[in-house]
Amino acid sequence: MSTTIATSHNFPPAPPRNKRLSIGIIGSGNWGTAIAKICGENARAHGNHFRSKVRMWVFEEEIEYKGEKRKLTEIFNETHENVKYLPGIPCPSNILAIPDVREVTRKSDVLVFVVPHQFVDRVCEQMKGFVRPNAVAISCIKGVAVNKQGVKLYSEYITERLGIYCGVLSGANVANEVAREDFCETTIGYNPDLGTSVSAEMMVALFDRPYFSVAAVKDVAGVALGGALKNIVSMAVGFADGLEWGGNTKSAIMRRGLLEMQKFATMFFDSDPRTMVEQSCGIADLVTSCLGGRNNRCAEAFVKTGKSLQQLEKELLGGQVLQGAATAADVHELLTSRDLVKEFPLFTTVYRIAYEGMKPEGMIQVLQPPVEESENEFTTETNDD
């Protein structure tokens, strides 16, 4: 039985013209601009559902452009291209770059969050008091906040700060590939049973494109956790790449990792375990990350070069945080506080390799079933009688 509640095949009926939704994008990095491009295309394509103008909040900065210093918003509104964060990709002309997040907020029925997770609190604080009464939100922010007290989704943060319902979008979605319109799938976690003012079908209509296939499920936590926990597994596969282990071994790591992702989601959120295996936010995102994402690359370099993860962050990620290692540390703190470390051997092993000096070769022990102390079941006994 599928967990899907809405896809592009059950397109919503057209609402009255005065009920068309206004869309606001909160964020304008490469992923934010790619999402804005999708929403801009759909706002034009489905005029009965959405108002044409899509407002994108852009953190204002001056950049060098054609020999002079100019504001990024002015360049975007003139060229319809984010020349700093998504160069070479033309965006629809109905997307308007706006430097004031409050203006975007007060003019939007659907707020799409695509900001780095460390800025969520700060941005929401600026938005307070400007949110429309029946507005809803979608978080495209990958990751979750984990500490020994528990696990919190960034969609929950947004709901708490702004008092509006917030769903989640996550999947095997590399921003530059999406912007180039390479085909991919994604998953929206959205529970209409909680009394949201916008249907799941309408949310799918906002994001679904011929190159961006969207399915919606009610399991918001499962969608969010898939995008966070897969980074730990990606590091494990990266360690295997560094050791030059073969495809069979790496497939075994992915399978074990997927099981631990399911177990974590069901243990802490009562998530539907099918989400991880049926939806892009689970198995597809996991495979994509393990085949060459930043966590995979850094973990491979960690084994081959002997450099610290902190040094590799600077060299390979420009100082950005290595999410797999950070998430492994946060998850380990939670599991330790709940005496659950033994329940998640692969997650624990990644943490120990990254932070406690465990040799990566020791990971193979995690893949082997435990040896039972009981008598070997294959021993043949003889009866002399």
pLDDT score, position 331: 96
- For residues 124 and 316, give the distance between their C-alpha atoms in angstroms, rounded to a whole number: 31
Mean pLDDT along residues 23-29: 97
183-192 tens-digit pLDDT: 999 999 999 9
pTM for the model stands at 0.90
- Checking if the pLDDT of 11 tops 70, the result is no
Three-class DSSP category at 289 = helix
Residue 32 assigned to a binding site: yes
Listed in sequence order, the residues at least 6 apart from 68 whose beta carbon sits closer than 8 Å to its beta carbon are: none
Between CA 346 and CA 357, with CA 352 as vertex, the angle to 5 degrees is 140
Report which of residues 213 and 12 the model is more confident about: 213
Mean pLDDT along residues 97-116: 97
Select which of 230, 250, 304, 359 is catalytic. 230
Mean pLDDT along residues 20-37: 97
pLDDT score, position 376: 45
**Comparing C-alpha atoms, which of 170, 61, 72 is closest to residue 113?**
170
Edge-first strand listing for the sheet containing 184-189: 4-7, 212-217, 184-189, 166-170, 136-139, 110-113, 21-26, 50-57, 95-98
- For residues 35 and 208, give the distance between their C-alpha atoms in angstroms, rounded to a whole number: 11
Percent of the chain with pLDDT over 70: 93
- Checking if the pLDDT of 375 tops 60, the result is no
Residue 306 assigned to a binding site: no
Mean pLDDT along residues 96-100: 98
Mean pLDDT along residues 34-51: 97
Mean pLDDT along residues 85-113: 98
- Checking if the pLDDT of 40 tops 90, the result is yes
Average pLDDT over all residues of the chain: 92
Which domains are assigned to the chain?
4-218 (3.40.50.720), 224-368 (1.10.1040.10)
**Comparing C-alpha atoms, which of 260, 167, 182 is closest to residue 216?**
167
Residue 59 assigned to a binding site: yes
3 state SS for 92-148: CCCEEEECCHHHHHHCCCEEEECCCHHHHHHHHHHHCCCCCCCCEEEECCCCEEEEC
Residue 126 assigned to a binding site: no
- For residues 13 and 195, give the distance between their C-alpha atoms in angstroms, rounded to a whole number: 19
pLDDT score, position 368: 84
pLDDT score, position 317: 86
- For residues 121 and 202, give the distance between their C-alpha atoms in angstroms, rounded to a whole number: 27
> For the ranges 23-27, 93-97, 380-384, which has the lowest average pLDDT?
380-384
pLDDT score, position 320: 73
Residue 323 assigned to a binding site: yes
- For residues 38 and 17, give the distance between their C-alpha atoms in angstroms, rounded to a whole number: 22
Residue 170 assigned to a binding site: no
- Checking if the pLDDT of 382 tops 70, the result is no
- Checking if the pLDDT of 266 tops 70, the result is yes
**In the numeric block, which tokens belong to residue 60?**
């204002």
Tallying the residues shown for the chain, one arrives at 385
Count of CA atoms in the C-beta half-sphere (13 A) of 209 = 22
DSSP 8-state assignment for residue 383: -
307 is catalytic: no
Q: Do the Cβ atoms of 147 and 117 come closer than 8 Å?
A: no
pLDDT-based confidence at residue 380 (cuts at 50, 70, 90): very low
pLDDT-based confidence at residue 371 (cuts at 50, 70, 90): low
Count of CA atoms in the C-beta half-sphere (13 A) of 257 = 33
- Checking if the pLDDT of 378 tops 50, the result is no
- Strands 144-147, 150-153: pairing is antiparallel
Residue 365 assigned to a binding site: no
Mean pLDDT along residues 225-235: 96
pLDDT-based confidence at residue 16 (cuts at 50, 70, 90): low
Residue 69 assigned to a binding site: no
Listed in sequence order, the residues at least 6 apart from 195 whose beta carbon sits closer than 8 Å to its beta carbon are: 165
Residue 295 assigned to a binding site: yes
Percent of the chain with pLDDT over 90: 82
Residue 28 assigned to a binding site: yes
Cα–Cα distances (Å) from 168 to 2, 27, 145, 187, in that order, read 19, 15, 14, 8
CB atoms within 10 A of CB 118: 9
- Checking if the pLDDT of 223 tops 90, the result is yes
> For the ranges 35-39, 185-189, 193-197, 351-355, which has the lowest average pLDDT?
193-197
